[in-house]
Amino acid sequence: MSTKKLELEIVALSHSVTQSHSYAVVLGEVNGVRKLPIVIGGFEAQAIAVALENMQPTRPLTHDLMKNMMVAFQLQLNEVLIHRIHEGIFFAKLICQSPYETIEIDSRTSDALALAVRFDAPIYTYESILDSAGLQMDETSHQVEIKEEKKSKTKITPSHDSLSGLSLENLQKMLEEVLDQEDYIKAAQIRDEINRRK
């Protein structure tokens, strides 16, 4: 397993029209073309969007409260590390610094990203994770965009069952189609099915 760390940045948040309450945060490789889509919940997507857009809610959201507590106790977030993927689930750590020591805190990836945006902390993953779960993209734009998913003209709604009956060649073709439509949630499902067969 490659332990080389690569920096990522949030390049898009995608909302699925076909799957209610499904969102994807898309991380892009800094100085690279690979993208890492991660399916997250609506609450976490909102928390990330609020921070990206520099909105000021009247009362602190949960992640704002977490940041305020960390600052009050002199705990700085140095970086977020997405260190493992298992059966399509990403695992992350908050690498924090207190006045006395460096502390690693286990975190859901979506919560870690919401805090990274608030602390302006860098996001990293290992090259091996990007190799196995990243998607190669031609587009190299790194602007942060909040996008609504474009409806598929072919009405493809892949589930694990429907994907398992397709050949690898068909899965690769479908992956290219959904990436063209910027449907990162479906792309993540197809990517996971391809990885299951390797």
155 is a domain residue: no
Q: What is the pLDDT of residue 23?
A: 87
Top pLDDT among 49 and 15 is at 49
Structural domain span for residue 105: 5-150
Return the beta strands (E) in 16-121 as ranges. 23-29, 34-40, 76-86, 89-97, 102-108
Question: pLDDT exceeding 70 applies to what percent of the chain?
Answer: 82
46 is a domain residue: yes
Phi/psi of residue 127, nearest 5 degrees: -60, -35
CA distance 195 to 85: 11
- CATH number of the domain within which 21 lies: 3.10.690.10
94 is a domain residue: yes
Q: What is the pLDDT of residue 106?
A: 98
Domain count, the chain: 1
Contact 189, 166 (CB under 8 A): no
CA distance 75 to 45: 24
198 is a domain residue: no
189 is a domain residue: no
Is residue 108 over pLDDT 90? yes
